[in-house]
Every structure is written in structure tokens, then in C-alpha cells.
Amino acid sequence: MGAENELQLVRDIRDQFLWAVWCRYVIAALGLALFLSTLTSGGLIYGLGLAAFLAAYNLLAHLLFVFHRGIRFWEILLARFAFQVLDIFCVTFLVYITGWLESPYWFLYLVLIILSGFGVFSVWSAWSVFLIAFFSSLFYLGLLLSTYAGWLPVYGPGFTLTSEQLLESIANKAVFTTISFFLLAATVYYFSRLLSQHRAELLKNNRQLQAAMEELKEVDQLKDEFISTASHELRTPLAVIRENISLIGDQVAGQINEQQRKLLESTLTSVDRLAKLLDSLLDISQLESRAAQLKRQRADLGALALKAIEMLKELADKKNISIVSRLEPDAQTWVDAGHLFRVFINLIDNAIKYTARNGRITVTVSVLGDKVRGAVEDDGIGIPEKDLPQVFRRFVRLNSGLEMSGGYGLGLSICKAIIELHGGRIWAESKLGLGSRFVFELPKGELNE
């Protein structure tokens, strides 16, 4: 048996051991109440003694579990079996003092067999049900024969049977109970093995899944490192290209005609877009890897929202989109103001892109106890429900059917990374054709710092 399987088995048996301890406490309490209410004065002494004996060795089992944490596999297996044999002895004694052959409590042997298979998931412990069945048969048959032979006095109702009739009754009872014990043990063993096979398969699948997840994490980390390195390394040559194009456009290197000037302007626009993409890739990589340093300060979320609205007003006016602000005063929080300003910029810019002409955008800031909430809502085309889980993924741009300026699908990813870096959360609400609402919540933080 491998070390991992042995450790899992010890864990299973320890759990079953503790579960059995608490069950015995309950049984001892119920048994004490039963003995006090139903037994005769002669049987009462034995009943109280049985309850005390059960409580005593169960307390020993409990102390063993609590103070012997370093117990090994075979030790806990033997301890578990020893206490199960003591359980069989208690049931046998209960059968003896409550009617011997006619006792109604012989079924408790069956209960012990069932409980011995509870929580077992290996062939090592599943076989214990047959041992319990064997000792149950041994103790019960020994009790019947010892009492019949006169070695033990009979407690319970008297018998009017002849010696031959009594022996025949004992033989029938012995055959019936023995078959019952081992039949039930076989059934419990079968289901225990079935559970063990399913569990082994689940554990194997779980290990394979964990290995695949670790591999994906490594691949994702390598991808992030590549993007970060490539973005950083490309910024310098791109800046040189931009500067050279600007110099040529300013005719520092000589005269250019109108057609050349237009080509240079188009090239410069493309270079600026590429530079913006590289900046976004570098930012999202740093934010998601938690490498970005937050410069936290006391900031009013409403003021940041208002500043973003003013910056994007001209862009909204081009589509005749009105931006309405509903900003609660004193929405103070402890954040990196630059990053949160960027969140508002990205959310409002996104709303403008996906809102048709003459539309309306509402920016809300509110205080909710120890949190502040920001929201940007539009009456644009909305997002299909099936696409909502995708909106914060990198490079995802949903088909809107509207004319939009170019984008790379990184804006919302950056928003999510910034909010989560601040310990907050962000989500999207939308219905197709009715508009969208992007909401984020942030803890106020230590405003007195």
C-alpha cells in the first residue's frame, strides 16, 4: 500500500473512530435511561454496570484519540478493532440480561456490522465487517451454549420447553443468526468495495485535474511573462520610430509633399495605437500578477467619476449621448486614485462605444455601510446572457453591430484587475436590447492612515 493511500486510510479510520466514540456516549446515555425505566431490581444492577463499563472504555478511546495524535496505521487499526470487540461484548451482555434466547436486542449485532462498514473505503478495513460478524456469532453462540450448559444463570422469562426442545431452539437460532450476520457482512463489504472503487477513481481524476491545472498555471505564467517582456522591450524601438516619423513630418529631414504627409500621419496614428496596446498589455500583466504597486490615498470616488465624465464629454457629444451623474457626497475610500480614475474612464468609454446615437449614460456613486459602490449604466444594445461571463476576459470584443473606434478588448479586463487588486469586486448586469450596467464595490479602507 502506498504512503498516500495509507495516510488516507488512517484519516478515514480516525474519522470513523471519533464518530464511534460520540455514538457510544449517546448509546450509554440512552441505555442508562432504558435500564432505569424498564429493568427489574435484579437486572438493574447489571444494566447500570453495563452502561458504566461502556462509558468507561469509550472514555479511554476518546482520550486515546485526543492525546495520541501520532498513532500509526496498524496501531489505529488494532485499536479500532479492539473497541469493536468490546462493543460486541456489551451487546452480548445486554442480550444475556434481557432474556437470553428470547432477548429482542440480538439485532444490535447487525447494527454493529453495519456500523463497522461505515466510512470504510479500502480492502484493509472493509474486511473488518467479516471479523465483526465472526466475533458476533462467536459471542452469541457462546452465550447460548454457556447458559444452556448451566455455566451462567438465566435472566429473563422462564422456559417451559424440554431439554431437547430447548437445544433445538438454540440450534435454529444459531443457524439463523449466523447466516444473518455473514449475509449482512457480505452485503456491507460489497458496497464498501464499490464505494472504494468509485473513490479511487475520483481521487485519480482529481490528481489528474490538479496536475493539468498546475500545468495550465505554468503556461499562463509563461504567457504573462512573455507578454510583459515583449511589451517592455518593444516600447523603446516604437518610441524611436514615432520620433523619427514626427521629425520627417515636421520636414526636419527635408521637404515632403501632401501625399507623403498624409501617409506619415496615418503611420503615426497606427504607431500610437500600437503603443497604447503595448501599454495596456503591460498594465494588465502587472495588475493580474499583483506586481503593480498601489499608491493608496484618501480619495472621493464621486470626484474621480466627475473628472472622467468631463474628460469623455467631447467623445460622447460626437454621438449626441448625454451623461448623467448621480454622485453621493463624501464617498471617501482608501485607493490608488489614478487606477480608480482609469476604471471610470474605461467603463464610460465602453458605454459610449456600445450606445447608439442620442443615447443616455448614467454614472452613479453611492455609499453602502463600510463600502462604496460605483456604477456605469447605459441604454445601449445590451449583452446576451450567455456572453456575460466573457466580458471581463482579455481580448473579448462582443459584436455590437455599431460603428466603433478600434479597441483590443482589454479595457474591462484592466478594470477587473484593478478592482480585485483593491480587494473589491466587479460585475456586469445586462439584458439584450435594454442596455448594460457595470458595477463595482470597494471597501472604504483605513481612511485615517
- Could you give the CA distance from residue 17 to residue 14 in angstroms, rounded to a whole number? 5
Our measurement of the distance from residue 45's CA atom to the centroid of its chain's CA atoms, rounded to an integer in Å, reads 52
324 and 207 in a common domain: no
pLDDT in tens, 67-101: 766 666 667 677 777 878 888 888 888 888 777 77
Has residue 164 been placed in a domain? yes
Share of residues in the chain with pLDDT > 70 (%): 77
For residue 360, the domain's CATH number is 3.30.565.10
The torsion region of residue 100 among left (phi > 0), alpha (psi -120 to 50) and beta comes to left
Residue 128 within any structural domain of the chain:
yes
How much is the pLDDT for 447? 54
Question: 306 and 173, same structural domain?
Answer: no
CB 272 within 8 A of CB 280: no
The residue among 163, 195, 213 that closes a domain is 213
Among 178, 198, 213, the domain boundary falls at 213
Residues 187 and 329 in one domain: no
Burial (0-12, 13-18, 19+ Cβ within 10 Å), 189:
buried
The tens digit of pLDDT for each residue in 100-137 reads 777 778 888 888 887 777 655 455 556 778 888 888 88
* Rounded-to-integer distance, Cα 142 and Cα 144, Å: 6
DSSP 122: S
Nearby residues of 445 by Cβ (< 8 Å), 6 or more positions away: 296, 333, 334, 335
Q: How far apart are CA 135 and CA 129, in angstroms?
A: 10
Total of domains in the chain: 2
Asked if residue 154 belongs to a domain, the reply is yes
Question: How far is Cα 231 from Cα 282, in angstroms, rounded to an integer?
Answer: 6
Does residue 416 contact residue 392 with C-beta atoms inside 8 Å? yes
Please check whether residue 302 lies inside any domain of the structure: yes
- Stated pTM of the model: 0.52
Looking at the fold, whether 75 and 190 belong to one and the same domain comes out as yes
Give a yes or no: residue 87 inside a domain: yes
Strand, helix or coil for residue 33:
helix
Residues 205 and 314 placed together within one structural domain of the fold: no
254 inside domain: no
Residues 67 and 196 in one domain: yes
Residue 240 lies in a domain: no
Cross-strand pairs, 361: 323, 378
Q: Both 174 and 51 in a single domain?
A: yes
Burial state string for 278-312 with b = 16 or more CB within 10 A and e = fewer than 16: bebbbbbbbbbeeebeeebeebbbbbbbbebbeeb
Is residue 72 one of the residues assigned to a domain? yes
Q: How many helices (H) and strands (E) does the chain have?
A: 11, 7
Range(s) of the domain holding residue 316: 296-443
pLDDT in tens, 256-304: 888 888 888 888 888 877 777 777 777 777 666 666 678 888 999 999 9
Confidence of residue 162 (pLDDT cuts 50, 70, 90): low
Residue type, 259: Q
Last residue of a domain, one of 158, 178, 213: 213
* pLDDT confidence of residue 3: 54
3-state secondary structure of 414: helix
**Same domain, yes or no, for 309 and 181?**
no
CB 354 within 8 A of CB 411: no
**Is residue 289 within 8 Å of 225, Cβ to Cβ?**
no
Largest CA distance in the chain: 133
Residues 194 and 304 in one domain: no
382, 433 Cβ separation under 8 angstroms? yes
Helices (H), 250-326: 258-288, 301-317
Which run of H or of E encompasses 16?
helix 3-38
